[in-house]
Amino acid sequence: MNAFRKTLLAAVSAIALAGAAGAAEVETVIKDVRFTFEGPFGQYDQAQLQRGFQIYNEVCAACHGMRYVAFRHLGAETGPFFPEEQVQAIAAQWEFPREDDPSEMRPGQPFDYFPTPEYFGDGVPPDLSLMAKARAGFHGPQGTGINQLFRGIGGPEYIYSLMTGYADTPECAIDNEPNGYYNKAFAVGAFPDSCIDEHGHRMVPGSWIAMPQQLYDDLVDYADGTPATEHQLAMDIASFLMWTAEPKMMERKEAGLRNIVWLVVLAVLLYFTNKRIWAPVKREDG
């Protein structure tokens, strides 16, 4: 009985702690936007992945690396599908130490991986290779269960919301603003005491992030003529980073669909086999 009481008390304590943790969660504004790859039959938009890489190359690569992505991956048919010559040209934009003499540099090759900038010292910005899987935009009931089958964990939505979540300084922080930039989607940054009410609740969503706003209208010139609005830029980079985190998504979905079809066929065959085997027995019993 004592063991049971201890187990029960431990369970109640765990539930209470979980409730307290949920109550302490920072409110953020995550926009639920629709991506082409969502759902069981969704697919990557090749043109969008190419545009997303252009944003990474021109805007993000100066600070963020992608150490799990090789240049050759950009030629994948289920990815951006750049021609081989273009992949080689992209790789050649970077330099790497020579294998026989590390003191000398050589142009990048398709087999090389995107490097991480080294001039930040200890404060290197996060690697973007798996960012779309490392961040969750949806929590609680809307991010669990069957709903995740169609919406996922919300990593791309988080990236989109972060890129478009910059806003003017709230009134409560005008005289006491932390270092950084106010972002409604960022939860783990600095937050001023002047924006916390007497009950300990935050009066505004999000927090302050060290990275300034990166995306603006007409920031880049898309080769395919797509209007480079802030919304479009954020959609494209979020889609590209989803592909870097899940490059085999299309193959996985195709394999899953084939397995389901085979399971349905097998279930039908087993049903009729069962009827054929047991039909004589049922007639005798009748």
SS3 84: helix
The answer to whether 137 touches 144, Cβ cutoff 8 Å, is: no
Answer yes or no: do 284 and 185 share one domain: no
pTM for the structure as a whole: 0.82
Q: Is residue 16 part of a domain?
A: no
The answer to whether 104 touches 119, Cβ cutoff 8 Å, is: no
Q: Which domain holds residue 282?
A: 254-286
- Give per-residue pLDDT as tens, 117-174: 876 656 678 999 999 999 987 765 544 445 555 666 789 999 999 999 999 999 999 9
- How many domains are contained in the chain? 2
What would the DSSP string read from start to end of 108-174? --TTSBPPPP-TTTT-PPPP-TTHHHH--S--GGGGSTHHHHHHTT-HHHHHHHHHH-B-PPPGGGT
Q: Is residue 5 part of a domain?
A: no
SS3 96: strand
Q: What are phi and psi for residue 41, nearest 5 degrees?
A: -110, 10
Q: Is residue 19 part of a domain?
A: no
- Give per-residue pLDDT as tens, 55-87: 999 999 999 999 999 999 999 999 999 999 999
CA dihedral angle for residue 244, residue 246, residue 252, residue 254, rounded to 10 degrees: -60
CATH of the domain at 29: 1.10.760.10
